Amino acid sequence: MVRCKASEEAIAFCDLIAEQTACLFAVRDAELFVLAVHEAIVNAVKAVRRLGLNEGTILLFFSITDDEVTVAVEDDGDGIPKEMFKQLGRKTLSDVLLAESGRGLLLIHEIMDMTAVVERADGRRTLVMKMQRAQQRPF
């Protein structure tokens, strides 16, 4: 688990962790895995900033099994807006072709093998996503 202050530094740091995780645990598509984690972290940073929390943090969790890598992202903000997540499955990247925002979550959904939002006891939401591991691994 990694906890960082929601900032550009946190985005860069989490990108590096995602790169190393993708490489070490040989996920199905390392570059796209990094992009999906990056998008989730950017969403989390934006959620904290939306609430104007100067000291707000984001949390990044990894869970690794023989078959897959699971990533969870939480924030001190309001997480992913419920309406936005409800649109997943109904809305695709084709629907936002000319839009100048709103692609992040759709990219995550497209890239990862599984995406879900878990409601926490305090009403906030955690984004959980999974990617399969490749057959050929460094270890």
- Contacting positions for other proteins (CB under 8 A): 8, 11-12, 15-16, 19, 31-32, 34-35, 38-39, 42, 93-94, 97-101, 103-104, 107, 110-111
Q: How far apart are CA 9 and CA 14, in angstroms?
A: 9
Of 98 and 121, which CB lies nearer to other proteins in the complex structure?
A: 98
Look up residue 76 and give its two tokens.
Answer: 């001190």
Least distance to other proteins, CB of residue 130, Å = 18
Of 12 and 118, which CB lies nearer to other proteins in the complex structure?
A: 12
- Residue 29: Cβ within 10 Å count: 15
**Residue 89 DSSP SS3:** coil
Of 67 and 105, which CB lies nearer to other proteins in the complex structure?
A: 105
| E runs forming strands in 1-111 | 2-5, 57-64, 68-75
Q: Output DSSP code: residue 138.
A: -
Least distance to other proteins, CB of residue 11, Å = 6
